[in-house]
C-alpha cells in the first residue's frame, strides 16, 4: 500500500522511509497531481489542501477502477474536497472529525478577552458542534450567561432536544437555547462563531448581513468559521463595523480564506493560528495515522498463516521473556516461521492438575492469575478513558464508583498516568471517535486469526471452546438502548446482531435474575474460551517443537545475561530492572480485577456479559468446559506497579463485586458459600489511551535488538495474534509492501498519547 502525505505534520513521522512525505504539496494542487502520477498512491493524507474533481478523476484513472483508494483529511472540514465526486468515483473520504476541538475551544476562550474580575458576561455561541459545546460547557461552569444557537437544537419536541443536548454535553438549565442566530447575540457582550462548514448546505443556513448588524456595539467576536458560511456581503458588514470601532473581532481561518480579505482595517485580527496551539498539531497527526492504520486493518490485513519458513532463519535465536498468552502466541508465531525460540518465565510451569492455592495472593499477570475464561468479541477491552470516568482514579469504590483502592497518595509515576487517563477521558473526539474504532478493528482481526489458528492447529482448541456467540445482558431498557447503539456502531451488517427480549435472555441463561421487565440483551459475534487450558495446549505444542525451549522458574535480572541477538519482553508488568523499560513502566500500569469460581447450579451453557455500574463495569460470566462451574469476572481498581494493595477499599470492592453478582446469580452464589471459594484477583496491564503497545528498544550495548509487546486490560488474549503478526513483520524487516508498518506506527511506545512530561 503506497501512502502519500501531502501536508506538513507537526510531529516527527516515525519510519518515514515507508511512506512518501511531501508537505510542500499543501498549497499546490497541480504538484499534487504530478505526485499522484509519479507515486501512484493508494492513500493520500491531506490537510487544508484543495482536492477538486479533476484531481480525483486523474487519481482514479491512473489507479484503475478495481483499486481501493482512500483520501484522509487531517482535520474536520471537507469544504475544499469535492466529496460528491469522490463518492461517484468510489474514493473513500475520511477525516479526523473534531480532534482539534479541545485545543480550538481553549484558544477561542482565551481570545474572547473575558474580564478576570468575576464580572458575568453574556456569551452568544453560534454552532453546537464539538467546539461550540465545549465552550458553552466551560463558560456556563464559569457562571457566564450562555446562549447557543444551532439548527440541530431547534427541534420543538422538548424530549428530542433534551436528548441532543445530553449527547452534546450541554444539558444544563444555565445554557439557554436560542431559536435563531440573531436571538443568540441580541444582548451579547461576546460572540463565538464555531460553525462546521460541512453542515451548511444552502444559502438560507448561512450567517446573514442582518446577523452581523444586530451584534451590540462594544461586543467582542471570535470566529474559527470558514468564510463560505457567511452570506454574500455579510463579511463586508463585519469588517466595516470593526473599521468604525463598533465591535472588535478575531477571524481565524485557513490561509486561503484570509488571503481573500483585501485592505483589512488594522483593528481586525486575521490569523491562521487556532490549529497551531500547542499540542493540537501533534494530536491531529496521531489521529490521521490512526485513521491510516484503520484503513490497513479493514482493507489489507493478511494472516501470516500458514507460516512461511525461511531456511536462512534456522540458526537465529530469539528469547521471549514472559509465558503469558502474549509471550506464548509470540513464540508460536516465531517458531512457526523458523526461528529458534527460548521462553523464560519466573514462575513454575502451569499444572492444570494441581490448581493454585486458592488462598494465595500473587502477582503473576493476567494469564496465570486470571481465571480459566476469556471472551473474544469485537468490542472487547475498548479504551476505558471515557467521560464518566474522568475522576474515577481519584475516588474510592463506594464514592460514586471510583477505581482508587490505594489509601495513601499516588506517587509521581502513578500520578502522570492518572492525569493522562483523566485528560483522555475528557477527549472523546480522539478516544471514542478514533481509538475505539482502531481497537475494535484489532479485535476483529484477532478473532479471525484465532479462528484460522484453531482451523490449522485443532489440538490447541481441544476442550477449550463452548460458545460461538456472546450475550450482552442489560438490566434495563435504557441500558439496552445504550448498549445496542454502541454495538451497532462497531459491527457490520453480516455480523448478525440479535436483540433479545427479557424472556429470550432468560431462556438462554436459566437462573439469571433480571428485576426489570424491560431488561433484555443483544447477542454478538465472538467466542468464549477456557483460557488456561488453551495456554496449556499451546505450551504442549511448543514443547514438541525442537526449535522451542522453556526455562521455567527463571528470573531475568539483566538482558546482558541473555545471549540471543533478539529479545522480546512479553510481560507487561515485569520486574526486570532496566532503564530500557522506563517508558514502558510509565505507559503500562496495573488495574486490578476480581474473579470467582462458583457452582453452575442451573447448568448455564452460554457465556454472557452484564453491563453494570462503576466500578464493576462489565461482568463476564463463562461456563467451565465441563459446565460444572461458572467463572465470574469484573471490577476495576488502579494499583500501578504495587501489586495487590490490601486496604479497606479493596475489601469494599470485593463485597460490591460479590453482592452485584448475587443480584443476578443468587442460587449460584448461595451454593458457593458452602464451598468457601474466595474472591481472587488478577492485575491487568492498561495504557491510559487503551491501545496496546509494541516498542523497539535500544540497549546500551547495541548488539541486541530488544522489543516490548503487550495488550491492554484483558484484551491481551484477543489482541495477541495481531500483535504477534506485527512483531514478526517488524523483526523480518517491515516494509511498506506489508502495510503492517502503518499499524505499528500507531502502536509505538512513543505515540503522542504516551508521551509524558
The domain limits of the chain are: 3-95, 101-267, 301-305+312-754
Find out whether 736 and 18 touch, Cβ atoms under 8 Å. yes
How far, in Å, CA of 232 to CA of 229, rounded?
9
CATH 3.30.9.10 assigned to 301-305+312-754: yes
- pLDDT value of residue 232: 95
In degrees and rounded to multiples of 5, residue 44 shows phi and psi of -120, 130
Checking if the pLDDT of 70 tops 50, the result is yes
The helix or strand, by DSSP H or E, that contains position 340, with its residue range, turns out to be strand 340-344
Give per-residue pLDDT as tens, 331-376: 999 999 999 999 999 888 987 665 544 444 445 566 766 788 999 9
- pLDDT value of residue 679: 87
Average pLDDT for the chain: 92
- pLDDT value of residue 118: 84
SS3 748: strand
The percent of the chain in helix, strand and coil, each rounded to the nearest 5, is 40, 20, 40
- pLDDT value of residue 359: 40
Nearest to 606 by CA among 592, 620, 616: 620
The set of residues, in sequence order, having a beta carbon less than 8 Å from that of 636 and lying 6+ positions away, is: 384, 392, 403, 591, 592, 593, 614, 615, 616, 617
Find out whether 295 and 43 touch, Cβ atoms under 8 Å. yes
Checking if the pLDDT of 49 tops 90, the result is yes
Nearest-Å Rg of the Cα atoms of the chain is: 28
Average pLDDT (20-27) is 94
Which pairing describes strands 520-529 and 498-500: parallel, antiparallel, or unpaired? antiparallel
Task: Give the neighbor-by-neighbor strand order of the sheet with 43-46.
Answer: 20-21, 3-5, 43-46, 69-73, 91-95
Checking if the pLDDT of 184 tops 60, the result is yes
Checking if the pLDDT of 542 tops 70, the result is yes
Query: Considering the chain, what percentage of its residues have pLDDT values greater than 90?
Result: 78
Q: State the burial class of residue 699 (Cβ atoms within 10 Å of its Cβ: 0-12, 13-18, 19+).
A: middle
- pLDDT value of residue 366: 65
Pick the CATH number of 101-267 from 3.40.50.300, 3.90.1150.10, 3.40.630.30, 3.40.50.720: 3.40.50.720
Query: How far is residue 268 from each of residues 221, 232, 264, 665, measured CA to CA in Å?
Result: 10, 19, 7, 67
Give per-residue pLDDT as tens, 380-407: 989 999 999 999 999 999 988 999 999 9
Give per-residue pLDDT as tens, 125-168: 999 999 999 999 999 999 999 999 999 999 888 888 888 998 89
Nearest to 341 by CA among 310, 316, 306: 316
- pLDDT value of residue 735: 63
Exposure string of 573-602, with b = 16+ CB inside 10 Å and e = fewer, is: bbebebebbebbbbbbbbbbbbbbbbbbbe
Find out whether 623 and 371 touch, Cβ atoms under 8 Å. no
Give per-residue pLDDT as tens, 677-733: 788 998 899 999 999 999 998 776 677 899 999 888 766 899 999 999 999 999 988
> How does DSSP assign 678-705, residue by residue?
--EEEEEEE-TT---EEEEE--TT-SSE
Find out whether 601 and 669 touch, Cβ atoms under 8 Å. no
pLDDT bin (cut points 50, 70, 90) of residue 308 is confident
Find out whether 406 and 370 touch, Cβ atoms under 8 Å. no
Q: 3-state SS of 75-96?
A: CCCCCCECHHHHHHCCEEEEEC
pLDDT bin (cut points 50, 70, 90) of residue 16 is confident
How far, in Å, CA of 148 to CA of 159, rounded?
18
Q: What is the sign, positive or negative, of the torsion defined by CA atoms of 295, 299, 305, 311?
A: negative
The set of residues, in sequence order, having a beta carbon less than 8 Å from that of 563 and lying 6+ positions away, is: 317
Find out whether 55 and 36 touch, Cβ atoms under 8 Å. yes
Average pLDDT (431-450) is 96
Average pLDDT (467-495) is 95
In degrees and rounded to multiples of 5, residue 272 shows phi and psi of -125, 75
Domains 3-95 and 101-267 equal at CATH topology level: yes
- pLDDT value of residue 201: 86
Task: Give CA 230 to chain center in angstroms.
Answer: 36
SS3 190: strand
The helix or strand, by DSSP H or E, that contains position 298, with its residue range, turns out to be helix 280-299
- pLDDT value of residue 711: 83
Write out the CATH class of domain 3-95.
alpha beta
Amino acid at each position: 500500500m503506497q501512502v502519500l502525505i501531502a501536508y506538513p505534520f507537526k510531529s516527527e513521522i516515525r519510519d518515514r522511509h515507508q511512506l512518501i512525505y511531501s508537505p510542500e504539496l499543501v498549497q499546490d494542487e497541480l504538484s499534487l497531481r504530478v505526485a499522484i502520477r509519479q507515486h501512484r498512491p493508494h492513500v493520500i493524507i491531506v490537510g487544508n489542501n484543495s482536492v477538486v474533481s479533476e484531481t480525483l478523476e486523474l487519481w482514479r484513472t491512473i489507479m484503475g477502477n478495481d483499486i481501493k483508494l482512500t483520501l484522509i483529511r487531517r482535520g474536520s472540514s471537507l469544504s475544499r474536497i469535492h466529496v460528491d465526486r469522490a463518492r461517484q468515483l468510489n474514493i473513500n473520504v475520511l477525516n479526523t472529525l473534531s480532534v482539534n476541538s479541545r485545543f480550538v475551544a481553549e484558544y477561542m476562550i482565551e481570545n474572547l478577552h473575558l474580564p478576570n474580575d468575576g464580572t458575568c458576561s453574556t456569551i452568544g455561541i453560534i454552532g453546537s458542534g464539538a467546539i461550540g459545546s465545549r465552550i458553552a460547557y466551560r463558560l456556563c461552569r464559569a457562571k457566564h450567561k450562555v446562549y447557543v444557537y444551532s439548527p440541530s437544537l431547534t427541534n420543538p419536541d422538548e424530549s428530542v432536544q433534551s436528548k441532543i443536548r445530553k449527547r452534546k454535553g450541554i444539558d444544563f438549565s444555565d445554557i439557554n437555547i436560542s431559536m435563531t442566530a440573531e436571538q443568540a447575540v441580541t444582548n451579547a457582550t461576546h460572540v463565538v462563531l464555531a460553525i462546521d462548514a460541512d453542515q451548511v448546505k444552502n444559502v438560507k443556513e448561512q450567517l446573514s448581513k442582518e446577523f452581523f448588524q444586530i451584534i451590540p456595539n462594544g461586543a467582542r467576536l471570535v470566529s474559527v468559521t470558514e468564510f463560505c458560511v457567511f452570506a454574500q456581503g455579510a463579511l463586508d458588514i463585519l469588517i466595516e463595523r470593526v473599521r468604525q470601532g463598533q465591535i472588535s473581532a478575531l477571524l481565524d481561518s485557513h490561509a486561503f480564506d484570509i488571503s481573500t480579505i483585501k485592505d483589512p482595517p488594522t483593528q481586525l485580527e486575521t490569523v491562521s493560528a487556532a490549529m497551531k496551539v500547542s499540542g493540537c498539531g501533534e494530536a491531529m497527526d496521531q489521529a490521521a495515522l490512526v485513521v491510516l492504520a484503520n484503513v490497513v486493518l479493514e482493507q489489507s490485513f493478511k494472516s501470516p498463516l500458514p507460516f512461511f519458513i525461511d531456511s536462512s532463519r534456522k540458526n537465529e535465536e530469539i528469547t521471549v521473556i514472559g509465558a503469558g498468552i502474549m509471550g506464548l502466541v509470540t513464540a508460536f508465531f516465531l517458531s512457526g516461521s523458523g526461528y529458534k525460540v527460548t521462553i523464560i518465565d519466573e514462575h513454575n510451569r502451569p499444572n492444570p492438575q494441581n490448581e493454585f492455592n486458592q488462598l494465595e495472593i500473587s502477582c503473576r499477570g493476567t494469564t496465570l492469575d486470571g481465571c480459566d475464561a476469556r471472551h473474544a468479541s469485537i468490542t472487547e477491552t475498548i479504551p476505558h478513558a471515557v467521560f464518566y470516568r474522568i475522576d474515577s482514579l481519584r475516588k474510592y469504590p463506594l464514592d460514586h464508583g471510583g477505581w482508587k483502592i490505594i489509601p495513601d497518595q499516588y506517587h509521581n509515576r502513578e500520578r502522570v498516568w492518572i492525569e493522562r487517563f483523566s485528560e483522555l477521558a475528557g477527549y472523546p473526539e480522539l478516544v471514542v471517535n478514533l481509538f475505539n474504532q482502531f481497537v475494535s478493528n484489532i479485535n476483529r482481526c484477532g478473532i479471525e486469526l484465532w479462528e484460522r489458528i484453531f482451523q490449522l492447529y485443532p489440538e490447541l482448541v481441544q476442550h477449550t471452546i463452548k460458545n460461538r456467540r456472546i450475550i450482552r445482558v442489560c438490566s434495563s431498557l435504557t441500558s439496552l438502548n445504550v448498549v445496542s447503539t454502541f454495538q451497532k456502531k462497531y459491527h457490520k451488517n453480516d455480523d448478525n446482531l440479535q436483540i433479545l427480549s427479557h424472556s429470550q435472555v432468560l431462556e438462554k441463561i436459566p437462573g439469571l435474575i433480571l428485576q426489570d421487565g424491560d431488561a433484555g440483551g443483544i447477542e454478538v459475534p465472538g467466542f468464549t474460551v477456557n483460557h488456561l487450558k488453551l495456554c496449556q495446549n499451546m505450551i504442549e505444542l511448543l514443547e514438541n517443537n525442537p526449535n522451542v525451549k522453556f526455562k521455567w522458574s527463571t528470573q531475568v535480572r539483566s538482558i546482558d545475561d541473555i545471549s540471543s541477538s533478539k529479545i522480546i519482553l512479553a510481560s507487561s508488568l515485569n520486574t526486570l530492572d532496566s532503564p530500557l523499560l522506563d517508558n514502558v513502566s510509565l505507559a503500562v500500569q496495573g488495574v486490578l480485577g476480581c474473579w470467582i469460581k462458583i457452582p453452575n447450579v442451573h447448568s448455564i451453557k452460554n457465556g454472557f456479559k452484564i453491563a453494570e455500574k462503576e466500578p464493576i463495569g462489565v461482568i463476564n460470566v463463562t461456563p467451565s468446559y465441563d459446565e460444572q462451574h461458572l467463572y465470574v469476572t469484573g471490577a476495576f481498581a488502579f494499583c500501578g506497579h504495587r501489586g495487590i494493595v490490601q486496604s479497606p477499599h479493596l475489601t469494599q470492592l470485593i463485597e460490591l463485586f460479590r453482592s452485584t453478582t448475587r443480584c443476578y446469580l443468587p442460587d449460584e452464589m448461595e451454593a458457593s458459600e458452602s464451598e468457601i471459594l474466595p474472591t481472587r484477583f488478577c492485575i491487568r496491564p492498561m495504557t491510559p489511551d487503551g491501545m496496546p503497545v509494541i516498542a523497539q528498544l535500544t540497549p546500551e550495548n547495541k548488539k541486541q535488538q530488544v522489543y516490548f509487546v503487550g495488550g491492554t486490560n484483558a484484551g491481551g488474549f484477543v489482541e495477541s495474534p495481531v500483535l504477534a503478526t506485527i512483531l514478526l513483520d517488524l523483526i523480518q524487516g517491515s516494509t511498506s509492501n506489508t502495510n503492517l508498518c502503518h499499524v505499528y506506527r500507531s502502536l509505538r511506545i512513543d505515540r503522542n498519547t504516551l508521551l509524558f512530561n
